[in-house]
Structure 1
Amino acid sequence: MLSSLFWKILNIVTTTIEWYVFRFILGKVSSLKEDKLTLNISFTMLILVTTTLNFMNVSPNIKLSTGVVIGFIFYIFNYEVSILKSIVVCLIYWMLLLSFDSISAGIVLTINSISNVNKILNNNIFRLELIIISKLLLLSLIPIFKIFRLQVDIKKRDFIYVCIPIIANILSIIVIFGYAFEEGRNSFIENIVIFIVSSLLLLSNISLIIVIHNIIRDSKLRLENSMIKEKIDMQYNYYLKLQDNQMRIRKLYHDMKNHMICIENIYGNSDVTKNYIDSINLEINSCEPVFETGNMILDIILSEKKSICDKNNIEFFADINFLKCNFIDMIDVCSIFSNILDNAIEACNKIDDENIGKYIRIRGTIVKEFFILKVENSKANKIITKNNKVITDKKDSFLHGIGINSIKNSIEKYNGEVVADYSEDKFIMNIYIPLQ
């Protein structure tokens, strides 16, 4: 018979494992607040409160309710998380914890051919087997959550239909445990049935977590696509207005050139007249299009971005032949070029070192059956990559990553490909679009 001291030490160890795994999962699904001292103190308090309840032989249901509440408080207090997400994550964890206890009890009953379920509640070798199996299953969550991350918030519309099945699973496990440990139930066959039902519940819980993950991911994708479309529409409408204004300016430019010729013929070639007409012609010539790519919208985009570069002391060079790219919708032209150049301008503006020249060079040409676009810009900021993809270095990665996804979505519509390359002081984006 194992000593009472052994079981007390084991109680503390198992409680620490349970809360350590909980803390590990929270660190994977949410961002930690800066105060690590507070985290460690509150983590110690979790262990002390739970251990005290165990020593006091409090009802399992009360311990479960208390664990959920103090776990929720610990989560909210130490991590940057919404209330809805914290509730869902806590419920999922306790659902898994109960599932592991249930399946472990079934395993112990089966491998030891125990007919009386209450035997595993006593301080004996069977209970030790139960604890070891249960905690090993719990520790298996650590490598799983090293891969699986849930760095999104739970929306109000998702909360109800996510929480209801989780709560239903928790209550089902509690009912099964209550049924299993009810006095007079000593049948081995019944214990086998309980083991099978517990196993099915565990599989159900795993499936539920996968479904929840997919629901949240799909919800995020829908929101992201909606925002991408909204941003592209705004860009497109903006450049349509600029195109209309540009057409009026070009018409006025053509008319004014003719008016100047008439005025010069009427008033002769006096120096005063000539100087006046030359000054007006100089102003008119400044309205001539700076770029001639073969696409008026693209010309306007390049002109606008050049003016921004001029104001920010960024050297801007563009040479693009877009004549054979009429199959690309104007809305996608706006999305691709405006977002690429906005990102390049932003990277240049982050350069504080005067020894690093600010420049943007964009070249587009036809090579065989492809339109090839190369955009190169200087930079000083560190490039962040994840899963071989360049991501934004801004805090709100979701909103500010929309421009990158917008470029990618527009290019993929035409079976194109984006290849990014970078060094310490420059970033290069190559785009390949097959001609149709």
Structure 2
Amino acid sequence: MNQFLRPFLELTVILPGMFLAYLPVSSYLRQKPLKLTAWLFPLLLGLCISGGFLSCFFQISTLPVLFLLLPLLLFLYHKTLRISIWKSGSIFLAVCAVFACLNSLSRAVNAITTANLNLTENELWFQTKSGLFYNAICLSFALATWYPASHAAKNMIDDENFARTWYIFWILPLTFIGLNLFMVPRYRNTLYTGRILHGYIVISLVLLAILVLFYAMFLLMADSLNRNARLQQENHFLSLQQARYDNLRAAIEEARQARHDIRHHFLQLSVLAENGDLEKIKEYLSHAASKIPNSDLHFCENQAVDSVLGYYSALTKRENIPFQAKIDLPPRLAIDEIDLCLVLSNLLENALEASQKTNVARRKIDVMICLHHTRLLLIQVTNAFDGNIEQKNAVFQSSKRPGNGIGIQSVRHIAEKNGGGSSFTYEDGKFEAKVMLRTDEKSAV
């Protein structure tokens, strides 16, 4: 029984490892946490038991068994998440790197235990006490990093400004995994030498400390990038509000001037009426009406949405593009206003650019925004377009430069992060974007 228990204990660290890997991506699960745990935990436990049995039956170390299990675990991990393989793979390798350092430390503890038992033969697996220590230290590390993994690391994953870093981040944990494998002595008896054992312990601790330090630096860098991007978004939002304010001020000034001229219009109309010249009265009224500003100064009670719509309404008017908006929103929404404005701005920006390239007779932009059962915010933007729309791997290509379009990708990411959804369809010269965002009733005031 003890022969089977020892390799089994070496493999059961997979459980706290997978637990730690899922902490920063809990909002990207394809299934509910309880449902995922219900089938994944027994499966992982079964893999650990099977791996321990194979190691014991063939009298081999757990390392080759682990190398066979890790690709399967990575496949399961990625398929249960709604993120790219670069992110899921990097997170998985990051956890493996930490546990590789803990494995080296446990190997040193096992050497001390074996020396105290006067066992100098080349053992295949950790002693039972060392296996328990290995599991305990891995579980303790997972619990200790629970908060930073589920908060700071989660922010790094959510941050799209950090997206390109994931293409190279995997190199760091893979390097530390290689260093720890390189440290494994060919013969375990080598560790019984006092100086080598002490040096092995120190190197294991130093590698773990350096790895944690590197992870902390990446978290700080991601937080800095996220704050800078947030400030840029807020500045963009303020610029929209400023433009909206300038448009409103100009329209109010025009209305004030028109009201000032009404008295003179009445005097002129009175003279024409006394003369009984009906045709001149009609002509005069038509001419005067054309000078009265006809601007939709107010779309809804929500100031954030109203500012964005007002800004793009002015742009479409300047380009002679018909703009129609049906908005039914309360003054306050239990949703991140920056995200909402980014979604609306991206959709309207794309619609405006497509309309500018469309035949003048077909130009039109329709916007519809409303709340559905107070829990869902529905946004629909429809516009005409001429030409072809290109997609590659279900990703819209940019019409301004080679590569993927950024606007629609940003809308999709915000919708997924919010727990909502988005769809984009185009047919018969009409492009329709539908976005659903979830509101948080608890944060509503």
Deviation string, structure 1 residues 326-364 (Cα, Å, up to 9, x no partner): xxxxxxxxx99x97xx9xxxxx95374xxxxxxxxxxxx
- Say if 1:103 and 1:202, in contact at 8 Å, map to a contact too: no
- Structure 1 position 239, deviation (Å): 4.2
Deviation string, structure 1 residues 29-60 (Cα, Å, up to 9, x no partner): 22322264664575356435533552334465
Secondary structure class of the residue paired with 1:81? coil
In structure 1, distance between residues paired with 2:91 and 2:137: 18
Secondary structure class of the residue paired with 1:33? coil
Q: 1:224 to 1:105 in 2, by over 3 A?
A: same
Q: 1:231 to 1:58 in 2, by over 3 A?
A: farther
What is the alpha-carbon root mean square deviation over aligned residues? 5.1
Residue pairs, 1:179-328, within 5 angstroms: 181=187, 186-268=192-274
In structure 2, distance between residues paired with 1:290 and 1:218: 38
Residue 8 (1) aligns with residue 4 (2): yes
- Structure 1 position 141, deviation (Å): 3.0
- Structure 1 position 200, deviation (Å): 1.0
TM-score of the two chains, using structure 1 as the length reference = 0.58
In structure 1, distance between residues paired with 2:330 and 2:73: 55
Match of 1:22 in 2: 17
Match of 1:166 in 2: 173
In structure 1, distance between residues paired with 2:258 and 2:245: 19
Q: 1:53 to 1:229 in 2, by over 3 A?
A: farther
Give the residue type in structure 2 aligned to 1:11: P
Q: 1:32 to 1:39 in 2, by over 3 A?
A: farther
Secondary structure class of the residue paired with 1:219? helix
Q: 1:191 to 1:203 in 2, by over 3 A?
A: same
Match of 2:109 in 1: 107
The answer to which of 87-96 and 65-74 deviates more is 65-74
In structure 1, distance between residues paired with 2:329 and 2:176: 60
- Say if 2:297 and 2:310, in contact at 8 Å, map to a contact too: no
Residue 90 (1) aligns with residue 87 (2): no
Secondary structure class of the residue paired with 2:130? helix
Match of 2:68 in 1: 66
Residue pairs, 1:374-389, within 5 angstroms: 380-381=374-375
- Structure 1 position 83, deviation (Å): 0.4
- Say if 1:104 and 1:134, in contact at 8 Å, map to a contact too: yes
Deviation string, structure 1 residues 45-79 (Cα, Å, up to 9, x no partner): 64355335523344655334323312211111222
Q: 1:396 to 1:92 in 2, by over 3 A?
A: closer
In structure 2, distance between residues paired with 1:289 and 1:115: 87
Give the residue type in structure 1 aligned to 2:212: I
In structure 1, distance between residues paired with 2:297 and 2:244: 19
Residue 50 (1) aligns with residue 46 (2): no
Give the residue type in structure 2 aligned to 1:33: R
TM-score of the two chains, using structure 2 as the length reference = 0.57
In structure 2, distance between residues paired with 1:237 and 1:184: 73
- Structure 1 position 19, deviation (Å): 2.5
In structure 2, distance between residues paired with 1:240 and 1:39: 57
- Structure 1 position 120, deviation (Å): 7.8
Match of 1:32 in 2: 29
Give the residue type in structure 1 aligned to 2:147: I
Give the residue type in structure 1 aligned to 2:172: P
Match of 2:77 in 1: 75
Residue pairs, 1:327-346, within 5 angstroms: none
Match of 2:138 in 1: 138
In structure 2, distance between residues paired with 1:102 and 1:256: 88
Residue 157 (1) aligns with residue 164 (2): yes
- Say if 2:17 and 2:99, in contact at 8 Å, map to a contact too: no
Match of 1:374 in 2: none
Secondary structure class of the residue paired with 1:178? coil
Q: 1:24 to 1:68 in 2, by over 3 A?
A: same
In structure 1, distance between residues paired with 2:307 and 2:237: 15
Deviation string, structure 1 residues 207-227 (Cα, Å, up to 9, x no partner): 222223223333333333333
Q: 1:285 to 1:44 in 2, by over 3 A?
A: same
Match of 1:127 in 2: 127
- Structure 1 position 158, deviation (Å): 1.0
- Say if 2:93 and 2:173, in contact at 8 Å, map to a contact too: yes
- Say if 2:7 and 2:52, in contact at 8 Å, map to a contact too: yes
Residue 350 (1) aligns with residue 371 (2): yes
In structure 2, distance between residues paired with 1:199 and 1:69: 27
- Say if 2:113 and 2:130, in contact at 8 Å, map to a contact too: no
Give the residue type in structure 2 aligned to 1:397: N
Give the residue type in structure 2 aligned to 1:259: H
- Say if 2:108 and 2:200, in contact at 8 Å, map to a contact too: yes
Number of equivalenced pairs: 329
Deviation string, structure 1 residues 238-266 (Cα, Å, up to 9, x no partner): 44344434433433443344223332245
Give the residue type in structure 2 aligned to 1:158: T
In structure 1, distance between residues paired with 2:79 and 2:297: 57
Residue 397 (1) aligns with residue 397 (2): no
In structure 1, distance between residues paired with 2:267 and 2:54: 98
- Say if 2:74 and 2:92, in contact at 8 Å, map to a contact too: yes
Q: 1:103 to 1:168 in 2, by over 3 A?
A: same
In structure 2, distance between residues paired with 1:52 and 1:163: 32
